[in-house]
Structures are given as C-alpha cells and as structure tokens.
Amino acid sequence: MPANKSARETPRLSEAEWEVIKPLWKHGPMAARDIYKDIPDKFGWAYKTVKTMLARLVKKGAVTYDQIGNSYLYRPVYSREEMTRSATGTFIQRVFDGAWSPLLAHFVEHVNREELEVLKRELARLEKKEPKNRGE
Amino acid sequence: MPANKSARETPRLSEAEWEVIKPLWKHGPMAARDIYKDIPDKFGWAYKTVKTMLARLVKKGAVTYDQIGNSYLYRPVYSREEMTRSATGTFIQRVFDGAWSPLLAHFVEHVNREELEVLKRELARLEKKEPKNRGE
DNA sequence: TGACATCGCCTACAAATGTAGGCTATAATC
DNA sequence: GATTATAGCCTACATTTGTAGGCGATGTCA
C-alpha cells in the first residue's frame, strides 16, 4: 500500500515553541524581531528567548529560513493543519487512550453557538458522502 | 458565593505520569506492583520507573495513598473526568488558541461510526435543553 | 530464625524545556 | 569613518521529564 500522502512525520513542539511558530503561520515569512513583536505580551518573553525558540524550531526541522542580507526570514516547514493534526492525535492518545468520547463530552459542554454550527456542517458533509468503512 | 465545584485546579501531568495514573482510574486503589503490571508492555518501563512516577504524582498532589501494612494503596485525587477536562482545555488553548474548529475538522476525518453516534447523542441532548445561559 | 523477595526512600544522570546573556560581525547613522 | 543598534552564534543554568539503581527495613517461607 502506498504511503498516505498526508502522513508526514512532524516534529513535536514544546509549549513555548508553539507560541513562537504561530505568528509564522498567521503572517508567512517573518524576521525574528517581528515574530517577537507578534507574540502576546502575556508571555513576557525576552527577545532572546524567542531567538532561542527559533533556533530550536530550526534544529527540530519545524522551521526553516532564507537569508536576506545579514538576517533571516523564518518560515514554517509544515502547515498548521499538519502540525495540529499530529499534535491532536498524540494528545488524544495520551489523555484518552485514543477514545474521542470524553473529548466530545467536554466539547458539548463548552462550545459556543458558532462552533456548534461548524460541527453540524461538518457532520452533514460527512453523512452525505457517508462513505467508507473508515475505522476499518 | 460558593466556589464552583467543578473548577478545581488540577496538577499538570507529564506523558509518562498519565500512563501511570490511568490504571488507578480504571481499577480504583492499587498497589504499585499492580499498577506496574497493568501498564501496557509497549512502554517497557521498569518497576522502579513506575515507582518514580508514583512518587512524582504524589508530590504533585495528583495521587495519594493509604498505608496498608508496609505498603501503599495508591488512589487518584481527581477524577479522570476532571483531569481530562483541564488537560483538554490547556491543549486546545496551546494548539488552537482556544478555537475548536480545527479539532472538529480533525475529528470528522477520523472518528469511527461508534464515536459518531456518541457525538450525535450528545448534540441531541444539547439541543434539547438548548438554552444556553451556559458559560455563566 | 535465616534467607530472600519486596517495600518505600533517596540518589543519579541525561535530555528537553524555560529563560535568557555575552560576544563578534555587520548595517545603519551621523 | 566612528558609533551604535541589531543580527546570529554559542553558552548558561535551573527545572522537569524519562529512566532507573542502591540501600536499609520489613514481610514471607522454609
């Protein structure tokens, strides 16, 4: 069976690393200084801290860069979609042993109306094509 | 105003700690040796490793114990429900900035039929009482 | 009543993570 | 051209996590 095209192995990020890569997904390629500025103040990180995170993200292969003059323009290697997908899988496995039910229960207790609409749409879409012995 | 009973602050667990506390939720109070036996072989941990995790869980206040003779019967301080609830909140915040949509998208791509039924039931239940002064 | 098997307690040690600082080269400014 | 603000590179250091081991006390079995 051919490899699933969407199944690239993504690096695992620490919490702080997630905060540093988010601006890159939001704005595209950025200089370290701009990433720094884009990170919410509530984290209270020094610029140097952000730089350290960027270095680690590069080392992990989650971020790469192009050199422009004497500085770098950083950009993500994986889409946010890819990264969140695998992080979610890992999380679900760790916390729920792979079972979604508790997460769903949590969900229905906390969603707002808008999110609920999204979900209903997704469900409708799913029902329609219904397909598929998914879950083997 | 009385404290909200469901809002206890729970300790944060590492991945390995999650695996060690799970048997306690599943079976109730257990001796370290039994917890050790209940942890899936795939982790390949030594008994001593499990003991270390238990000590850390106790130190974090996630687990406590009653002494029986010269050994301990460990038990969880928080319900699995409580722990998963807060872990989920933290995760959602970290990875999705608090937005559920990407998680839902992930969900509809991966659930199996059974989980889907659970969700539909939950939704029905939600619709019924509908109202919505939820979120205080 | 010894000899083991276990118990819990304390210690160890590398890797990952959080949180920067110092140093040198270069770019921009007067 | 000299000064200064930045850039990237390398280093630092405490804490958390993964992964146990050693040791003395106690329970267990012959």
Select the more confidently predicted residue: A94 or B106: A94
Q: What is the pLDDT along chain B (136 residues), one digit of tens a residue?
A: 444 455 678 999 999 999 999 999 999 999 999 999 999 999 999 999 999 999 999 999 999 999 998 899 999 999 998 998 889 889 989 998 877 776 777 777 777 777 778 778 877 877 776 544 444 3
- Identify the DSSP state of B2: P
Within-domain flag for B34: yes
Residue A50 lies in a domain: yes
Q: What CATH number did the domain enclosing A27 receive?
A: 1.10.10.10
What residues make up the domain containing B32?
A: 15-76
Q: Spell out the alpha helix ranges (H) of chain B.
A: 15-27, 32-38, 47-60, 80-96, 101-110, 113-129
Do A21 and A50 fall into the same domain?
Answer: yes
Residue closest to A89 by CA, chosen among B110, B115, B71, B58: B110
Residue of B91, B115, B128 best to disrupt the A interface, most CBs of A under 10 A = B91
B68 & B37 share domain? yes
Using the Cβ of A70 and the Cβ atoms of chain B, whether some distance falls under 8 Å is answered with no
Q: Clarify whether residues B22 and B59 are in a common domain.
A: yes
DSSP classification of residue B42:
G
Is the CB of residue B76 less than 8 Å from the CB of residue B62? yes
Pair (A89, A56) in one structural domain: no
A22 touches strand C (CB under 7 A): no
Residue B6 in domain:
no
A119 → chain B, closest CA residue: B104
Taking an 8 Å cut-off on Cβ atoms, the answer to whether A104 and B115 are in contact is yes
Contact (Cβ atoms closer than 8 angstroms) between residue B59 and residue B11: no
Beta-carbon contacts of A31 under 8 Å, excluding residues fewer than 6 positions away, are A71, A72, A73, A74
Nearest to A6 by CA among A84, A74, A75: A84
Provide the pLDDT for residue B96. Answer: 87
Q: How far is A48 from chain B (nearest CA, A)?
A: 21
**Using CB atoms, which residue from A91, A122, A123 is nearest to B91?**
A91
B64 and B105 assigned to the same domain: no
A34 vs A132, higher pLDDT: A34
Q: Does the nearest atom of strand D lie within 7 Å of B15's Cβ?
A: yes
Answer yes or no: are the C-beta atoms of A35 and A73 closer than 8 Å. Answer: no
Alpha carbon dihedral A82, A92, A103, B79, in 10-degree steps, equals: -150
Mean pLDDT, chain A, rounded, equals 85
**CB of A87 under 7 A from strand C?**
no
The answer to whether residue B103 sits within a structural domain is yes
Min mean pLDDT across A1-10, A26-35, A39-48, A88-97 is at A1-10
Quick check: A99 contacting B, CB < 8 Å?
Answer: yes
By C-alpha distance, which of B13, B21, B121 is closest to B74?
A: B21
In eight-state DSSP terms, residue B7 is -
CB pairs under 8 A between A and B: 102
* Residue A135's pLDDT band (cuts 50, 70, 90): very low
Instruction: Tell me whether residues B94 and A123 touch, CB distance under 8 A.
Output: no
Q: Is the CB of B44 under 7 A from strand D?
A: yes
Cα gap B85→A102, rounded to integer Å: 8
Q: Give the pLDDT confidence score for residue B129 in this predicted structure.
A: 61
Residue with tokens 């760790």: A94
In a domain, B67, yes or no: yes
Q: Is the shortest CB-to-strand distance from B35 to strand C under 7 Å? A: no
Residues A103 and A71 in one domain: no
- DSSP H/E element including B9: none
> What pLDDT, on a 0 to 100 scale, did the predictor assign at position A7?
63
Q: How many domains does chain B have?
A: 2
Q: Give the pLDDT confidence of B64-98 residue by residue, as tens digits.
A: 999 998 899 999 999 998 998 889 889 989 998 87
So what's the pLDDT on residue B104? Answer: 74
**Three-class secondary structure assignment of B82-116:** HHHHHHHHHHHHHHHCCCCHHHHHHHHHHCCHHHH
How much is the pLDDT for B35?
Answer: 98
More confident residue, B123 or A38: A38
ipTM above 0.85, yes or no: no
- Does A108 sit within 8 Å of B123, measured CB to CB? yes
Within 10 angstroms of residue A127's Cβ, the number of other Cβ atoms is: 11
Q: Among A60, A76, A92, give the residue marking a domain's end.
A: A76
B108 inside 8 A of chain A by CB: yes
Contact between A101 and B83 under an 8 Å Cβ cutoff? The reply is: no
Q: For residues A84 and B91, what is the distance between their CA atoms, to the nearest angstrom? A: 10
Model pLDDT, residue A97:
85
Q: Are residues A107 and A121 in the same domain?
A: yes
Measuring alpha carbon to C1', the residue closest to nucleotide D22 is: B48
A130 touches chain B (CB under 8 A): no
DSSP secondary structure letters along A40-80:
-GGG---HHHHHHHHHHHHHHTSEEEEEETTEEEEEESS-H
On whether residue B91 sits in a domain, the answer given is no
